[in-house]
Amino acid sequence: MASYKNIVVLTGAGVSAESGVSTFRDNDGLWEQHRIEDVATPEAFHRDPDMVQNFYNVRRAQLKNVEPNAAHIALGALESGLDGQVTIVTQNVDNLHERGGSTSIIHMHGELGKVRCTCCGYVFLWPGDCSQSSQCPNCFNQPALRPHIVWFGEMPFEMDRIESLLGACDLFISIGTSGSVYPAAGFVSLVRAIGAAHTIEVNLEPSDGASHFAETRHGEAGTLVPLLVEELLA
Ligand code: APR
């Protein structure tokens, strides 16, 4: 394999599936058990904040019972072993990339382990439950705190930075995402339109965007990602 110096890795729920974190659109996925409109939109939070807070409280608590898998750990090793830059752009709100050893991570859909004050805008680490009676530690308003999550209808974080990284990379890898949610689903086309980077999809099955990748590898991330990282570091 060519030696790459500037790698961007897009990840989705599939990279955390083998850690026991539910995906969204597979059988038994989160969106089979909950309606997006009830728990993952600004309107839902306005209508029923307790229900939305509880949905994220349960998921935040689940983070304490899961561990990074071989794919997270291999990506951490890629960052430390490559003579170049590796950036993870993740749609995941869990912290398994951090715990797998990666340090250069953009959480474009937010982070479960943080809350944001709707009054002063401060973002805080928040390991426990959050509710409408939780007080903002900065401006002391209450109710004020919401999950630091990008809901449907909101703008993903750090898009300008992500677009420049996509324009500058020489390898783009997409792991464990169905390719059904934009803007992330459009990254591969953007990469190919802007530059000459190689593009690889690693997913359990062909994603909606599989035909846009120069190379596809289908199977479990926990098996395929360590093999890919081994090739990249060889
Ligand atoms: N290894 C690799 N891929 C896997 C594995 C695995 N072990 N298990 C599942 N997958 C694949 C599935 O085949 C599917 O294509 O991961 C993909 C997960 O797709 P989604 O559930 O749609 O998750 P994702 O693409 O991350 O969703 C994007 O949608 O609801 C929003 O904000 C949410 O960030 C999320 C966004």
Ligand 1 proximity of 192 Cβ (cutoff 6 Å): no
> Which residue's alpha carbon is at the smallest distance from atom 5 of ligand 1?
14
- The reply to whether 27-65+111-149 shares the fold of 1-21+68-109+157-234 is no
Give domain 27-65+111-149's CATH superfamily. Answer: SIR2/SIRT2 'Small Domain' (3.30.1600.10)
Q: How confident is the model at residue 149 (pLDDT cuts 50, 70, 90)?
A: very high
Model pLDDT, residue 73: 98
Tell me the pTM.
0.96
Helices (H), 48-127: 49-62, 70-81, 96-99
Ligand 1 proximity of 221 Cβ (cutoff 6 Å): yes
Give domain 1-21+68-109+157-234's CATH superfamily. Answer: TPP-binding domain (3.40.50.1220)
Residue 200, beta-bridge partner list: 173, 215
Name the amino acid, one letter, at 163: E
Model pLDDT, residue 39: 92
Contacts of 199-202 with C-beta under 8 Å, sequence gap 24+, read 199/171, 199/172, 199/173, 199/174, 200/171, 200/172, 200/173, 200/174, 200/228, 201/173, 201/174, 202/173, 202/174, 202/175, 202/176, 202/228
What does the domain layout of the chain look like in residue ranges?
Answer: 1-21+68-109+157-234, 27-65+111-149
In this model, does residue 103 exceed pLDDT 80? yes
120 Cα to the center of ligand 1, angstroms: 33
Ligand 1 proximity of 180 Cβ (cutoff 6 Å): yes
Q: Which residues have a catalytic role annotated? A: 109
> Which residue's alpha carbon is at the smallest distance from atom 35 of ligand 1?
91
State the average pLDDT for the chain: 96
In this model, does residue 126 exceed pLDDT 80? yes
Query: pLDDT digit string (tens) for 184-232?
Result: 999 999 999 987 899 999 999 999 999 999 999 999 999 999 999 999 9
Q: Quote the percentage of the chain above a pLDDT of 70.
A: 100
Ligand 1 proximity of 12 Cβ (cutoff 6 Å): yes
Query: pLDDT digit string (tens) for 8-60?
Result: 999 999 999 999 998 988 878 888 888 999 999 999 999 999 999 999 999 99
Model pLDDT, residue 31: 84
